[in-house]
Amino acid sequence: MDLEAAAPPRPRGGSPATAPPPPADRETDVGNVRKNIFLAYKTLGVVFGGLVTSPLYVYPSMNLSSPTEADYLGIYSIMFWTLTLIGVVKYVGIALNADDHGEGGTFAMYSLLCRHADIGILPSKRGYSEEEPLLREQSATAIRPSKLGKFFEQSLTVRRVLLFMAILGMCMLIGDGILTPAISVLSAIDGLRGPFPSVSKPVVEALSAAILIGVFLLQKYGTSKVSFLFSPIMAAWTFTTPIVGIYSIVLYYPGIFKAISPHYIVHFFLRNKKQGWQLLGGTVLCITGAEAMFADLGHFSKKAIQIAFLSSIYPSLVLTYAGQTAYLINNVNDFSDGFYKFIPRPVYWPMFVIATLAAIVASQSLISATFSVIKQSVVLDYFPRVKVVHTSHQKEGEVYSPEINYILMVLCVGVILGFGGGKEIGNAFGVVVIMVMLITTIMLTLVMIIIWRTPPVFVGMFFIPFVIMEGSYVSAVFTKIPEGGWLPFAVSMILALIMFVWYYGRQRKIEYEMANKITIEHLGELLAMPEVQRVPGLCFFYSNIQDGLTPILGHYIKNMSSLHTVTIFVTLRYLLVSKVDQRERVLIKRLGPRGVYQCTVQYGYADNLSLKGGDDLVAQVMRCLKRHIAMSTDRRSSVSTEEEIANLEAASLAGVVHVRGKMRFYVGDDAGCFDKVMLRFYEFLHSICRSALPALGMPLQQRVEIGMLYKV
């Protein structure tokens, strides 16, 4: 849905000089500016926590050996251009425009690509009917796909690779959500050991773990409440660290900004060669958390994130790193505690308190991003169903998942207690950070070619420099895999395995249902059998397919020898859009037999499925069904409109029942080894994940489940 289409048309005639906007428009513009500034302030507590606190651990994560002034100037030059190119140019300038109706992240880009070209994998995501109004609007953009889009459509292997990239990007972002809280809080609390050398490392670890547990317990209150609490803390950090940086520049090395010249980078690599290349694994941490800018887009707005980054975050980081580097040039061996050593003694304790509180806030940015991408993958049916709670009535992107929250908490505490040192966590951290960014670069390039139709020259100007830069970072951080980098890979591979097994199992079920679906003619034959009775009542029969009826229906009729007088086959369909207009939420059509209807309930991945009570869905469908009957000109029987509506109301008064088919795999001994492993694992995941019906608020006493075995 094009949000701009809802805007009133501009008046014709007159120039801007002679026809100023009316006062109401000016007031609206002022109101929008104020709203964006307020949202920008709130982003400090949610989006940028991980990025702006990176000075706590960047220098301590580097394995420097007898560094010189020239080395530090080269390192600062690398960090400055990394922040500028990746932060300003790539994310703020380009990536934030590749949203899918306000949602960001790799899965949002994947769904955006799927909507503009037929490159999805699951049949359920691609088998839409062109007769449906919303989907007609979507498909209009993909009538003439680009040459690259056609290539993707024709190659199943390439489409699978694209899906794997989207999955890997999501999994890596979750790994980031594990490591950001651990390294931020641990690095901040480690400041206790400077003034108090007697404080042992296990004490720092235990205190850090306790703080993180408290952060995760706060998540259930929602992003809005958390950001309102944390934004003042982040604002204090964002504006005090550059002040200390300026003081350090003036005191230690006023000429530090000459390092902005790229020739210092060239000299750094010529002088240090292999060691300089390996140090990229530490410098990449300066851009940590930039990916949250894009992933957290659904929580705020593009303008708010751009304003916050360009006006405060970017200048703050440039000045803070400049101050740290200026101090280290005069104290070359203090890099292992590069943040706290450059803090002046009179303000050490105030800065320690602010740093600790800021590190706690930093944990929030990737936690929020993790909730967002998990929700996107769940509603797109690429991840087992978990509970997703919408914590804001104004912002649908604000979500919280209890299961994911507590899993993250356990893993974060495990990382702190298992690794202990910030340098070891930093080795693991770098792998996650740059892999997500490289995947984002590749998918952004596809968006430019397939959707934006950007001229090839400009695509090359974006793709080549960023792939070279991020590829260099990737090659450097891969050397850290034996030193802790294996952790995010292990977590990502486990998550990717879960997602692939879920996708494979869902695909096999859909293939079986499509191959064995019941046609309208077959349904008529079943209902014509003498032993089958039409019992009073209204039945909502849930199905995964729309073109035909689920095989479980035949199993149900043969075993129950009955069907309700009014039966509505309901398909819950998640479209590859952010939100579905309320007018297109429920689609109704009459099937052949008397009292049998087809209903499709459509949702986007940013829509809220948690209806307030089962009667809400019943009431919505009943209203749409009555309207459909009243407006229908296709009378397939002698029953009048008034009589059909009366039958519908009588069935509703007789009682409502919600029937859900539960098809299970029966994996026999003759099944292949691959199917035995994958489908048994899928059945395990299916048995522990949540049902779709409770999300709709169906009363327990009205729910009926019909089981059916499908022999593999």
What are the two backbone dihedrals, phi and then psi, of residue 549, each rounded to the nearest 5 degrees?
-115, 150
The mean per-residue pLDDT over the stretch 576-590 comes to: 76
Instruction: Judge if 477 and 546 occupy the same domain.
Output: no
Instruction: Judge if 457 and 556 occupy the same domain.
Output: no
Q: Does the pLDDT of residue 296 top 80, yes or no? A: no
* Cα–Cα distance for residue pair 501/493, rounded to 1 Å: 12
Q: Rounded to whole angstroms, what are the CA distances from 252 to 55, 70, 341? A: 18, 15, 13
Residue 590 domain-assigned (yes or no)? yes
Q: Are 599 and 623 in contact (CB under 8 A)?
A: no
What are the beta bridge partners of residue 661?
706
* Cα–Cα distance for residue pair 363/398, rounded to 1 Å: 16
Which residue in the block uniquely carries the two structure tokens 């706060």? 218
What are the beta bridge partners of residue 564?
535
Q: What is the pairing mode between strands 703-711 and 656-666? A: parallel
Other C-beta atoms lying within 10 Å of the C-beta of residue 711:
10
Dump pLDDT digits (tens) for 653-681: 888 888 888 878 878 777 778 888 888 88
Q: Does the pLDDT of residue 2 top 70, yes or no? A: no
* Cα–Cα distance for residue pair 589/631, rounded to 1 Å: 11
Residue 625 domain-assigned (yes or no)? yes
Q: Please give the pLDDT value at position 328.
A: 93
Q: Are 442 and 416 in contact (CB under 8 A)?
A: no
Q: What share of the chain is helix, strand, coil (3-state, %, to 5)?
A: 65, 10, 25
Instruction: Judge if 528 and 663 occupy the same domain.
Output: yes
Residue 249 domain-assigned (yes or no)? yes
Residue 297: domain span: 29-124+143-484
* Cα–Cα distance for residue pair 158/103, rounded to 1 Å: 25
Instruction: From 172, 162, 60, select the one nearest 488 (Cα to Cα).
Output: 172
Residue 400 domain-assigned (yes or no)? yes
* Cα–Cα distance for residue pair 379/191, rounded to 1 Å: 43
Percent of the chain with pLDDT over 70: 84
**Going by C-beta distance under 8 Å and a sequence separation of 6 or more, which residues neighbour residue 486?**
428
Instruction: Judge if 349 and 240 occupy the same domain.
Output: yes
Residue 238 domain-assigned (yes or no)? yes
Dump pLDDT digits (tens) for 67-104: 899 999 999 999 999 999 999 999 999 999 988 877 78
How many Cα atoms sit within 13 Å of 455 on the Cβ side?
Answer: 3
Other C-beta atoms lying within 10 Å of the C-beta of residue 321:
26
Q: Please give the pLDDT value at position 481.
A: 78
Dump pLDDT digits (tens) for 465-497: 999 999 999 898 888 777 777 877 788 888 888
Residue 55 domain-assigned (yes or no)? yes
Q: Does the pLDDT of residue 325 top 80, yes or no? A: yes
Q: Please give the pLDDT value at position 132.
A: 41
Residue ranges of alpha helices (H) inside 141-222 are 147-154, 156-189, 201-217
One-letter amino acid of 420: G
Instruction: From 37, 626, 45, select the one nearest 306 (Cα to Cα).
Output: 37
How many helices (H) and strands (E) the chain has is answered by 27, 8
* Cα–Cα distance for residue pair 28/6, rounded to 1 Å: 15
Dump pLDDT digits (tens) for 176-186: 778 878 888 88
Q: Which string of b and e fits 67-90 if b means at least 16 CB within 10 Å?
A: beeebbbbbbbbbbebbebbbeeb
Q: Please give the pLDDT value at position 258.
A: 95
How many Cα atoms sit within 13 Å of 459 on the Cβ side?
Answer: 15
Work out the burial of residue 468: count CB atoms within 10 Å of its CB; fewer than 13 is exposed, 13-18 middle, 19 or more buried. exposed
Work out the burial of residue 472: count CB atoms within 10 Å of its CB; fewer than 13 is exposed, 13-18 middle, 19 or more buried. middle
Which residue in the block uniquely carries the two structure tokens 């991980």? 50
Instruction: Judge if 443 and 571 occupy the same domain.
Output: no
Q: What does the block give as tokens for 505?
A: 């199992």
pLDDT band, very low/low/confident/very high, at 120 (cuts 50, 70, 90): low
Q: What does the block give as tokens for 114?
A: 């799927």
Q: What is the pairing mode between strands 656-666 and 596-603? A: unpaired
Q: Please give the pLDDT value at position 79.
A: 95
Q: Does the pLDDT of residue 232 top 70, yes or no? A: yes
CATH number at residue 354: 1.20.1740
Cα dihedral 236, 239, 242, 243 sign: negative
**Residue 114 has what DSSP assignment?**
H
Q: Does the pLDDT of residue 174 top 70, yes or no? A: yes
Instruction: Judge if 414 and 525 occupy the same domain.
Output: no
699 or 234, higher pLDDT: 234
Instruction: Judge if 332 and 473 occupy the same domain.
Output: yes
* Cα–Cα distance for residue pair 515/205, rounded to 1 Å: 56
* Cα–Cα distance for residue pair 508/676, rounded to 1 Å: 13
Radius of gyration over every alpha carbon of the chain, rounded to an integer in angstroms: 29
Q: What does the block give as tokens for 49?
A: 């926590």
String of DSSP letters for 12-81: PSS-TTTSPPPHHHHHHHHHHHHHHHHHHHHHHHHTSHHHHTGGGTTGGG---SS--HHHHHHHHHHHHH
Residues composing the chain: 712
Instruction: Judge if 356 and 228 occupy the same domain.
Output: yes
The mean per-residue pLDDT over the stretch 124-145 comes to: 42
Residue 384 domain-assigned (yes or no)? yes
Residue 467 domain-assigned (yes or no)? yes
The mean per-residue pLDDT over the stretch 126-140 comes to: 40
Instruction: From 159, 219, 191, 531, select the one nearest 369 (Cα to Cα).
Output: 219
**Residue 84 has what DSSP assignment?**
I
Other C-beta atoms lying within 10 Å of the C-beta of residue 613:
12
Q: Please give the pLDDT value at position 555.
A: 83
pLDDT band, very low/low/confident/very high, at 225 (cuts 50, 70, 90): low
Q: What does the block give as tokens for 514?
A: 């499509």
487 or 246, higher pLDDT: 246
One-letter amino acid of 490: A
Instruction: Judge if 605 and 694 occupy the same domain.
Output: yes
* Cα–Cα distance for residue pair 86/253, rounded to 1 Å: 27
Q: Please give the pLDDT value at position 135.
A: 40
Listed ranges 114-118, 379-383, 441-445; the one with the highest mean pLDDT: 441-445
Instruction: Judge if 551 and 614 occupy the same domain.
Output: yes
Instruction: Judge if 542 and 447 occupy the same domain.
Output: no
Q: Please give the pLDDT value at position 695.
A: 57
Instruction: From 660, 592, 644, 587, select the one nearest 621 (Cα to Cα).
Output: 587
What are the two backbone dihedrals, phi and then psi, of residue 429, each rounded to the nearest 5 degrees?
-65, -45
pLDDT band, very low/low/confident/very high, at 605 (cuts 50, 70, 90): low
* Cα–Cα distance for residue pair 704/697, rounded to 1 Å: 14
Q: Give the count of domains, the chain.
A: 2
Instruction: Judge if 239 and 156 occupy the same domain.
Output: yes
pLDDT band, very low/low/confident/very high, at 65 (cuts 50, 70, 90): confident
User: To 5 degrees, how large is the angle CA 399–CA 501–CA 178?
Assistant: 45
Mean pLDDT for the chain?
A: 80
Q: Does the pLDDT of residue 256 top 80, yes or no? A: yes
Q: Please give the pLDDT value at position 678.
A: 85
Q: Does the pLDDT of residue 608 top 80, yes or no? A: no
**Residue 529 has what DSSP assignment?**
S
- Maximum CA extent, the chain: 97
247 or 684, higher pLDDT: 247
